[in-house]
Structure 1
Amino acid sequence: MGWTRFRETETAFASAVQARFAQYKHHVLATLRKDGSPRVTGIEVEFQGGELWLGMMAGSMKAHDLRRDPRFAVQANPGPDAEMADGDVRISGRAVEVTDPAVMARFASLVEPPEPFHLFRAELTEVVRTGVENDELVVRVWRPGAALRTLRRGNGDDGVREDA
């Protein structure tokens, strides 16, 4: 499922996630190397035309990784606040390479990436936001075809409670 469908099904949650990514330019992308081990690299993500885009320099190792195995996770930059006041946001999914010259030209006109570049559209498999509310750790999890789940754990709690 693409960003537009996610935003249509979970409007407020999608807006909060997008706003969290908009706070900083650089984020962290996790891909899988040829041997299956993780690779973590910096990336700029773009929300344009109803999609979540991952653009990267031509020939980059992360592009090679995604061409071989499209699974990824991208974590919003936590920023300088050690308290994580704005929460922690992660999007996981599959990267679909885009080679259509018109789509790439439209993206380049909006973002002005270094050329040449690779462009991938994100198909979402999970979106997670973790934060603190009223002294509770609150984790919101969305997956395609399922309702948004909210899990809570207070300081000293023995377990996790799920909102009904």
Structure 2
Amino acid sequence: MATWGEFAAEQPEMAAFVEGRFAADRHAMIATLRKDGAPRISGVEPDFSRGELWAGMMPGSLKSRDLQRDSRFALHCVSTVASMTSDGDAKISGTAELCADKELYLAELFERTGWKPAPEEIDLFRFDVNEVVQLTVEGDEMVVLSWGEGRGVRRVVKK
């Protein structure tokens, strides 16, 4: 697995595109795995900070418990037909790690946003990535760039 910063160093243009798509609407959808292995889709607000990809969740929430039990996730930016056509689409998958030491992140979050929850009010996860996907529409074609750790970027054009 790669950190977000490692991916961004390898693919800076793709990382900037993906970060921009997630920033366009702070709300995103995360897929986690329930105890029985079934998928669960939940809302989340991913945050790209200090070369890492983060997300805070309510302590004990189902998505937090899912990630603590099975760290695999898939993250998808909010997209509509209009945003897909004009702005594109982005997806990230990998594994999540629950962070016990939240103080540095929360201090930096406060500097950027003016909001600082108490450490006990948030389950903070740092995400490593194994796949990042960028989709754009160019004319009448959909262009899919897919990065995988160790294999680089693949480009597929679909009409």
Shift of 1:145: 1.3
Tell me which moved more, 59-68 or 106-115: 106-115
SS in 2 for 1:59: coil
Q: How does 1:9-158 map to 2 (within 5 A)?
A: 9-79=10-80, 81=82, 84-106=85-107, 108-109=109-110, 110=112, 112=115, 114-115=117-118, 116-154=121-159
Question: What is the TM-score normalised by the length of structure 1?
Answer: 0.86
Q: Verify the 8 A CA contact 2:107 2:116 in the aligned structure 1.
A: no
Question: What is the TM-score normalised by the length of structure 2?
Answer: 0.89
Listed as ranges, the gaps of 5+ residues in structure 2 are none
Rounded Cα–Cα distance in structure 2 between residues aligned with 1:19 and 1:101: 25
Q: Which of structures 1 and 2 has the bigger CA Rg? A: 1
Shift of 1:105: 3.5
The change in CA–CA distance for 1:62 and 1:8 in structure 2 (over 3 A counts) is: same
Once the two structures are superposed, residues 97-125 of structure 1 have per-residue CA deviations (whole angstroms, 9 ceiling, x without a partner) of 10114335335534536541101101001
The structure that is helix-richer by fraction is 2
More relative contact order, 1 or 2 (CA 8 Å, 6+ apart): 2
Rounded Cα–Cα distance in structure 1 between residues aligned with 2:83 and 2:104: 39
SS in 2 for 1:65: helix
Matched pairs, number: 154
Listed as ranges, the gaps of 5+ residues in structure 1 are 155-164
- Residue 5 (structure 1) aligns with: 6
Rounded Cα–Cα distance in structure 2 between residues aligned with 1:129 and 1:79: 15
**Which residue identity lines up with residue 95 of structure 1 in the other structure?**
A
RMSD: 1.8
The change in CA–CA distance for 1:102 and 1:82 in structure 2 (over 3 A counts) is: closer
